[in-house]
Structure 1
């Protein structure tokens, strides 16, 4: 299985035009982050987790020409706003795109992209096949998926374990029963927004603490605000088995 990080940044404190902080003016491409998303590919199946506002560019930049399904973590705009651009994959495959989301995320998608679910659809609108998921494991193609429920302040959010790979973003609390689902993974991806306390995201230290509890041998941090600092400087502070992810990073399991 191959995992490619399409984006590792966040709309919370995202670098803005005119900002002169050290991250925003950095020449290191690892400090230039699109919104958080990941592409997971096996021999027979390609899945993207979340369609960010940068989705179209992420697909072009990664040269992705085929997708089988989209998994959604939650309904915030920085994770669903790019869904309309799924229509390109409809065009080339001739099929509706399978969408997997929990009930609250499905409700938001049906509301925000109402025209894709209309009885009298306008030609060229996205073709979506919705699948409502909960806590039960399931398969997409040949990839096994175990949902992991985490909390994003007061909002339940889904993380996912796909075989030996676990992906969690937009979380600030994980119950022990859900942590147990992560154990045994070979790679864990976890959000680490910044060093200062935040209402709904893990800080760098909180993410390190969670990583230690799981015992996963290789950990990457994502959903990184420019407030965290420059990639190379923060990476140098981390344990050997923990790294900051960056846009374009690929790992193979």
Structure 2
């Protein structure tokens, strides 16, 4: 299967900046081995969608657990779908930490996404204290199981070791493979043969100079990219590295 580069801009880029980024990508993109999906702030999605080159997907960074109603400030899955979105991130470590999102909330958001034709990118991963205790596999699989309760197999999983996000520290390719292999086994147990084509991404300080070694591992199918997603040359460098 093709690698997926899920480009998480986080809280960066105005609609004007998003338009310029998409236009620059269109001018320089010459094709690559990876599928690209841009996960932008909700206010920038319209400008982004109108200017992305053909074949590049986009989506949201979060979605409401509710279909619609009196939930001021939230964005529904139906709204994202109406814009033409393909993906939406749910359960990112920053949402879990800063907004108190539980596995149950993440599962509810993932189900809303699927009910409206979106593919949720479900994020799981451990903090430094858990890894230092050698409990990263058990912790991450428990988080995975809770976050997929009632969720169908139309999903992407992103393993993000929290200690390697925005810190400059990067898990080794072997670290990424250890968790990706455990996640894939859990997905096969949960979904059976439907899990054969599910993608498991690695996320944590991914850059052009380390992505190839990580994605070369048999159970890693791309990356959830943070800081390196903000500049088109970095995105193209990562895509080229996967050829």
How does the TM-score come out when normalised to structure 2? 0.39
Structure having the higher Rg = 1
TM-score (norm 1): 0.38
Higher share of residues assigned strand:
1
